[in-house]
């Protein structure tokens, strides 16, 4: 049998495994259609082109994507590279597939030029414009992955370009979407072309150590398996070496040798449920010495990309450190496939919902949760599209122009250059002539037709355009080009408005009044005012309202002046009533503000208003604690617990006596204060779990939990948590103290 045909049959079987409802006929059609369309085309390695879309569909099936996505993967290069069209694909395979193919095609057209901010920004916006349906990105990532796998046939220049783009764009996107496995492969294949020497070095070194590695990993794996079996915990255990790029980053970024990399080895323990995760953790910590500060509970606090696992680093008898990741099967699936996994679960629930906004909403939440600056940037551009206050369209050259949503070709023309707008005589969208009031949609290609003899913009354009930029430029044009005309039209509008409000021109042009009036409307001469009204810089109504205000004020001033003069006369006669008359018109002297000022975090500092307050890290006070303040140099007041060792009288330097101030708690509405506890206990299995359970039943937010074994059979836990006040903290301390084997729970000091 034809090997390609064989591969296709295998693909079909793979899909049927996770999607028994597959419409095989439809898939066959797509395969034949693609095969036929690409007929005669060859890849760089000499194989028939169809092997590429087939491979992309295979990767998509690895991610267990849905039928439409697989079909779109098979067809993804047809519209771009063959005579196939959107309409034809849409007619044969439906609009959903055609839109996916179209989205992937557009993404392919975006050229990544350099790392420059602007380019990144454009690309992100672009991605978002196309990512209305997240499946577009997923298919594009599959496409890129296969291209990276077969990059050896490309020219060195192309290799570097694609590798850079993959490292800068696609791997981070895969990461953000939680697709760990794909991300690693994208990074490793890119590294191969970006730093062939470094990649080679790592591969060689890993190969040289392979035998030793395997032996070490097999021993550890066996130990863990045996112990878990003894404990009656059902678990799958396996070891692996970290992927090349992550080793690379550590070696070159932190200037380490491979021996110095802490967690070259990682073991995974996959279990059925969450309690088992903590049980396994207890066993691991019992078998091997935990490395301080390396325990991380991503089950309690999942990573922003939904990743969940317990991480700990321990040292084996051989003295080699290794990382252990403990997770459930569901967490494992999410970790490997990220959004694709999630999306698959959704598929089971409601097939109709796919690729719709709700899927996108999930991505938005996911991205919102990201906290690095980089991600914020990503999010910002994402939001722009999401709340649809912007559209992204293309120039015929493929440059992206971003406009407020509802924009028309007028906005587009002026965003390119005012000269383009001023000379515009027509506009095309996707090759067809459109009226000027056409609202542009994401992804359209817009072309402006200009003529040197164009008469210039019409006043109506100001109503048709959406962006301030276009409106200002149009105004600018009228201002400059049509001054005489503007003055005439402006004057007419102004005089008519004056008449409407019962004023005559002569009422404001008096020598005394005119300068005040012009000052109020901020123009030097009446002609300037008329011109502004003429070109639309100011409305006649607004000008007249302002002028009326000014006239009223002038009247008032005059009346007051008259009254004051009268009073002065009165006072000469009568000196008993000093607080009457003109003086009474003044605003009363401000009453001293008696409300205590305090910072918003619930602390009032005696004698200091509105000062910056922060809580000392050494003792982290919570409301209810007796507290004392210290005025730091330049950083506001630092608040300590009164019994903090750092505040003991012996620690207070005489020259700083004046810096110690009284502070007290006030109700501020803030409900969470971070503080820390130290717990000591007899070390035992399940201690970490019990602590975690106690904290969770107390419903406090835990920001950190670090348990480690001390040499003499003790375990020490540091707990970072947020509480409302001292009462809540006391109840947490009581709960923890009651746990089996706990000797002491105290607040951290010093």
- Catalytically active residues are 80-81
- Is 310 in contact with 277 (CB distance < 8 Å)? yes
CA–CA distance, 29 with 71 (Å, rounded to integer): 9
CB 182 to Mn ion: min, Å: 16
- Cβ proximity to Mn ion: between 72 and 715 the closer is 72
- Is 409 in contact with 387 (CB distance < 8 Å)? no
CA–CA distance, 398 with 172 (Å, rounded to integer): 24
CB 336 to Mn ion: min, Å: 23
CB 260 to Mn ion: min, Å: 41
- Cβ proximity to Mn ion: between 145 and 271 the closer is 145
> Cα-atom radius of gyration of the chain, to the nearest Å?
36
CB 77 to Mn ion: min, Å: 5
* Residue 453 C-alpha from the chain's centroid: 47
Name the 3-class secondary structure at 424: strand
Tokens at residue 297, please? 């509970």
- Is 395 in contact with 430 (CB distance < 8 Å)? no
What is the helix (H) or strand (E) element at residue 327, kind and residue range? strand 321-328
CB atoms within 10 A of CB 428: 16
CB 81 to Mn ion: min, Å: 9
CB 56 to Mn ion: min, Å: 6
Indicate the DSSP class of residue 254.
T
Which residue lies nearest Mn ion, judged by its C-beta? 143
- Cβ proximity to Mn ion: between 41 and 351 the closer is 41
- Is 431 in contact with 445 (CB distance < 8 Å)? yes
Binding site for Mn ion (CB under 5 A): 77, 143
End-to-end CA distance of the chain: 76
CA–CA distance, 10 with 429 (Å, rounded to integer): 43
Question: From start to end of 646-711, where are the E strands?
Answer: 660-665, 673-682, 701-709
- Is 51 in contact with 124 (CB distance < 8 Å)? no
CB 86 to Mn ion: min, Å: 17
- Cβ proximity to Mn ion: between 102 and 143 the closer is 143
What does each C-alpha distance from 316 to 256, 287, 322, 647 come to in angstroms?
A: 21, 8, 8, 43
- Cβ proximity to Mn ion: between 77 and 683 the closer is 77
- Cβ proximity to Mn ion: between 98 and 446 the closer is 98
- Cβ proximity to Mn ion: between 143 and 165 the closer is 143
Place of tokens 């073991």: 267
Phi, psi of 391 (to 5 degrees): -125, 155
CB 327 to Mn ion: min, Å: 34
CB atoms within 10 A of CB 117: 9
- Cβ proximity to Mn ion: between 71 and 474 the closer is 71
Closest CA to 110 of 133, 140, 135: 140
Phi, psi of 406 (to 5 degrees): 90, 0
């Amino acid at each position: 049998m034809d090997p390609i045909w064989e591969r296709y049959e295998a693909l079909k079987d793979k899909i049927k495994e996770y999607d028994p409802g597959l419409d095989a006929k439809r898939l066959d059609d797509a395969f034949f259609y693609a095969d036929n369309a690409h007929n005669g085309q060859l890849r760089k390695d000499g194989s028939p082109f169809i092997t590429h879309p087939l491979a992309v569909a295979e990767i998509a099936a690895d991610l267990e994507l849905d039928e439409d996505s697989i079909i779109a993967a098979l067809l993804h290069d047809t519209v771009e590279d063959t005579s196939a069209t959107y309409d034809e694909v849409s007619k044969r395979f439906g609009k959903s597939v055609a839109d996916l193919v179209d989205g992937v095609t557009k993404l392919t057209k975006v050229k990544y030029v350099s790392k420059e901010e602007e380019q990144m920004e454009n690309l992100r916006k672009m991605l978002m414009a196309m990512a209305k349906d997240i499946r577009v990105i997923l298919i594009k990532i599959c496409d890129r992955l296969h291209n990276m796998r077969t990059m050896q046939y490309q020219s060195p220049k192309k290799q570097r370009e694609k590798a850079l783009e993959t490292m800068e764009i696609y791997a981070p996107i895969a990461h953000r979407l939680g697709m760990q496995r794909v991300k690693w492969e994208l990074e490793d294949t890119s590294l191969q072309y970006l730093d062939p020497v470094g990649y080679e070095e790592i591969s060689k070194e890993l190969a040289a150590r392979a035998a030793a590695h395997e032996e070490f990993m097999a021993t550890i794996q066996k130990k863990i398996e045996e112990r878990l079996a003894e404990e009656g915990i059902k678990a799958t255990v396996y070891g692996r070496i970290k992927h090349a790029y992550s080793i690379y980053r550590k070696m070159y970024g932190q200037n380490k040798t491979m021996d110095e990399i802490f967690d070259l080895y990682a073991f995974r323990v996959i279990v059925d449920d969450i309690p088992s995760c903590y049980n396994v953790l207890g066993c691991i910590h019992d078998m091997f010495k935990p490395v301080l500060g390396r325990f991380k509970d991503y089950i309690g606090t999942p990573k922003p990309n939904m990743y969940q696992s317990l991480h700990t680093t321990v040292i084996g008898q051989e003295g080699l450190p290794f990382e252990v990741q403990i997770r459930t099967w569901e967490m494992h699936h999410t970790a490997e496939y990220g959004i694709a996994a999630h999306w698959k679960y959704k598929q089971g629930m409601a097939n109709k919902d796919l690729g719709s906004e709700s899927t996108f909403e999930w991505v938005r939440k996911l991205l919102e949760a990201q906290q690095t600056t980089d991600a914020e940037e990503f999010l910002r551009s994402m939001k722009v599209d999401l709340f649809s206050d912007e559209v992204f369209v293309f120039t015929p050259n493929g440059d992206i122009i971003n406009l407020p949503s509802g924009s028309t070709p007028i906005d587009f023309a002026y965003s390119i250059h005012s000269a383009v707008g001023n000379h515009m005589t027509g506009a095309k969208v996707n090759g067809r002539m459109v009226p000027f009031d056409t609202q542009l949609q994401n992804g359209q290609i817009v072309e402006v037709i200009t003529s040197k003899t164009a008469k210039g913009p019409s006043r109506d354009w100001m109503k048709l355009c959406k962006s301030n930029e276009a409106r200002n430029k149009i105004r600018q044009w009228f201002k400059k080009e049509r001054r005489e005309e503007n003055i005439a039209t402006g004057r007419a509008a102004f005089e008519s408005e004056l008449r409407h409000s019962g004023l005559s021109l002569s009422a404001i042009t008096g020598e005394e009044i005119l300068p005040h009036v012009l000052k109020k409307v901020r123009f030097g001469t009446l002609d300037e005012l008329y011109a502004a009204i003429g070109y639309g810089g100011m409305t006649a109504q607004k000008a007249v309202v302002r002028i009326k205000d000014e006239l009223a004020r002038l009247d008032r001033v005059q009346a007051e002046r008259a009254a004051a003069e009268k009073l002065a006369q009165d006072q000469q006669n009568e000196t008993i009533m000093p607080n009457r008359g003109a003086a009474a018109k003044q605003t009363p002297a401000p009453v001293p503000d008696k409300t205590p000022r305090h910072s918003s975090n619930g602390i009032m500092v005696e004698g200091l208003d509105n000062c910056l307050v922060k809580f000392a890290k050494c003792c982290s006070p919570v409301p209810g604690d007796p507290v004392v303040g210290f005025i730091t140099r330049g950083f506001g007041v630092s608040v300590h617990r009164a019994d903090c060792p750092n505040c003991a009288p012996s620690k207070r330097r005489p020259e700083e006596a004046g810096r110690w101030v009284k502070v007290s708690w006030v109700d501020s509405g803030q409900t969470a204060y971070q503080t820390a506890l130290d717990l000591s206990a007899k070390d035992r299995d399940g201690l970490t779990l019990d602590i975690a359970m106690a904290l969770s039943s107390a419903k406090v937010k835990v920001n950190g939990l670090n348990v480690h074994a001390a040499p003499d059979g003790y375990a020490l836990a540091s707990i970072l948590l947020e509480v409302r006040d001292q009462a809540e903290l006391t109840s947490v301390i009581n709960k923890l103290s009651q746990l089996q084997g706990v000797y002491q729970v105290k607040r951290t000091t010093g």
